[in-house]
Structure 1
Amino acid sequence: MSVAQFIQDAWNKQAKWLIVLRPLSWLYRGGFLLNKNLYKTGLKQSYTAPVPVMVIGNITVGGSGKTPLLIHLVKYLQNHKIRLGVISRGYGGKGPFPAYVGLDAEAHVVGDEPMLIVQSTGVPMAVGSNRQKSIELLLSKHALDLIICDDGLQHWALERQLEWIVLDNNRGLGNEKILPEGYLREPKCRLKNSTVIEHATAPQLPLNMHLEASEPYLLNGQLNQPFNLEACFYAVSGIGFPQRFYQTLEKMGLQQFQGHEFPDHHEYELDDLQFEDSNPIITTEKDAVKILPLLKKNPHFKREIWVVPVDAVLSQACYETLKLQLEQLGIKFNQGSFE
């Protein structure tokens, strides 16, 4: 087990020994607040894009359901004829940056989540640590009404007009401590200044979402082959919160599976998919975008790999809030429906 996985497990269990990391949390918080204040006072300059920017992010480390939400919103806005582009850090990608993410891009170059977003929506997208350069790259190719920034909530170098924060009630705020004692990137008071979307199956807030799994599809082999719930699977994932994936499998009625977890944004090798028997693998769409190139390079690999697609389901209040917020920015909704 890597150090990162060890600490992730400790966060999830709220282990008492994490208190020894408190001095490091004080340093992290101090550095974070100093950087934020440098931008607020103008000692560091923020970039203001020529079109409105909406940031979708979270204040916790690990998966929150942010990417399925972003994909859903992109499809919704596309259906309403709003011209939009997406930018992202491109975490896990090797660049060079900024990079335009076309359908022919590769996950190891631009990152797994950008590949999933573009393959799911076809939206114009650019990635790189310098968000200004990514926006300029997008605007050099497309006329846009809105730019959505995937993550980047703590990236103060970019001005934004809207912020949506996904709060996963499955994990909550843990011990409510800042990194590395806890998994908060910012203090919880940050939630007061943004639009909070509660990710929960039994939500308490009117602005809420949950994820629903669709029928698994086969990444290799006979595409019309039926999915067998009675089979024994290896559940392979390299995501921020693998427990949610396991919960999804259980809700589907899949009871026989053995979890194999890798770090978030893991770069797969063929050996990661090798097991002693021939039982099938089941994985996430985020992992599938990196596994598929491996399969193409190794056509002799015959083990079935099933992929579970998930869709974000939003409350009506989310759509109403989004429409109001965008209209206040001068972005009008055209004919279309999606809810």
Structure 2
Amino acid sequence: MKDILQNAWHARGWLAWLLYPLSLAYGLAVLLRRALYRHHIFSSERFGVPVVVVGNVVAGGAGKTPLVIALVKHLQAQQIPVGVVSRGYGRQGNDCLEVTPGASPSRTGDEPALIKRATSAPVFVARSRTEAVRVLLAAHPATAVVVCDDGLQHYALQRDIEIAVFDDRGVGNGWLLPAGPLREAWPDRLRFDPSLVLHTGKKPAFDGFASTRQLNTHAYSASGEAVLLAGLRARPVAALAGIANPDAFFDMLREIGLTLQTTASLPDHHDFSDQDLEGLEGCVVLCTEKDAVKLFALPQASRHEVLAVPLVFSPETAFFAAFDARLAPLISPLPSGHGHQTA
């Protein structure tokens, strides 16, 4: 059903038209919900530090987590203490907790675990992002900036900077769910909440900042051993991907000269099990860093050569300049302690 919907989202075919009345109802509900927050009928919360929300208006992944990691590293390079909050999509439980290096991805979610591993920044997950921010600031009071992984539509958390991420799908057929892929109207949203727009694909569908994505030259084992990817060209290779666009990962592997004997395109946030490795004996198994968070923990993984291939994600310099220009006036007058208010 998901594949059928995604095909309909690329064009205004018969299925999209059939679903269009539902999209109209959905759009009215979105507008009503936004108005209830704007007129303070629904409460929202602002904290004593700048909050940066990275998200998308299109259903499915578009490259938010690599951008969160890039932003955190950018802030760390400037000696700005930064923390991250996330809902932790797909995790077991709704409690608020800090992501630690040894925490199970089933409890934290795969993306928060990857962010923690890649940045070592404080990362907190909770069903409510406002609760996650509150607990983060209490545990790490020196935090000067909070980056929220996803949550453009989580209006209960007030934000200072929004970054909308798009891949090569753009806005699809331009219609709202379920007739199209949009969670809210675009570019109408820009009239209410001006956002920085970053494209993570090779062919941006409209104006915005660009970025590049390429594979690292080395893959890494669960023990941290580095393996040169070019050295795998003569070996049988299998590739697994439980991300939003598995084919993009497979294509990048082929572009560096690897011959993939088999590929497995799995749903985003796939809950890997030993069965996913069955029949892959004798192959080098390549996966994304996000998938490795779960794959490395499987009992069967030790019986295979499973390697994680890091993605080198680089927003253009102009994007960071625009981000810094928006953040600078928010950081300079920061008070010594954190507080928050409801509005």
Superposed CA offset, 1:74-103 (max 9, x none): 111111110111101111111341111111
Superposed CA offset, 1:252-311 (max 9, x none): 2224343312211111110012126532322111111011111xx346x52222222102
Query: d(CA) in 1 for partners of 2:265 and 2:60?
Result: 13
Quick check: 255-264 or 182-191, which moved more?
255-264
In structure 2, the residue matched to 1:97 is 95
| 1:164 CA displacement | 0.8
In structure 2, the residue matched to 1:137 is 135
* Divergent runs of 4+, >6 A: none
SS of residue paired to 2:179? coil
In structure 1, the residue matched to 2:163 is 164
SS of residue paired to 2:164? strand
In structure 2, the residue matched to 1:337 is none
| 1:220 CA displacement | 5.2
In structure 1, the residue matched to 2:321 is 320
Aligned length: 326
In structure 2, the residue matched to 1:246 is 250
In structure 2, the residue matched to 1:19 is 17
Q: Is the counterpart of residue 58 in structure 1 residue 62 in structure 2?
A: no
Query: d(CA) in 1 for partners of 2:245 and 2:307?
Result: 19
User: Given that residues 72 and 311 in structure 1 are in contact (C-alpha distance below 8 angstroms), is that contact kept between their aligned partners in structure 2?
Assistant: no
Query: d(CA) in 1 for partners of 2:13 and 2:235?
Result: 35
In structure 1, the residue matched to 2:289 is 285
Query: d(CA) in 2 for partners of 1:131 and 1:14?
Result: 35
Quick check: 90-99 or 244-253, which moved more?
244-253
User: Given that residues 165 and 191 in structure 1 are in contact (C-alpha distance below 8 angstroms), is that contact kept between their aligned partners in structure 2?
Assistant: no
Superposed CA offset, 1:205-235 (max 9, x none): 5722121210242435993655412334332
| Letter in structure 2 aligned against 1:259 | T
SS of residue paired to 2:27? helix
| TM-score where L is the length of structure 2 | 0.87
| TM-score where L is the length of structure 1 | 0.88
| 1:202 CA displacement | 5.7
| Letter in structure 2 aligned against 1:322 | F
SS of residue paired to 1:327? helix
User: Given that residues 84 and 121 in structure 2 are in contact (C-alpha distance below 8 angstroms), is that contact kept between their aligned partners in structure 1?
Assistant: yes
SS of residue paired to 2:240? strand
| Letter in structure 2 aligned against 1:85 | G
Identity across matched positions, percent: 35
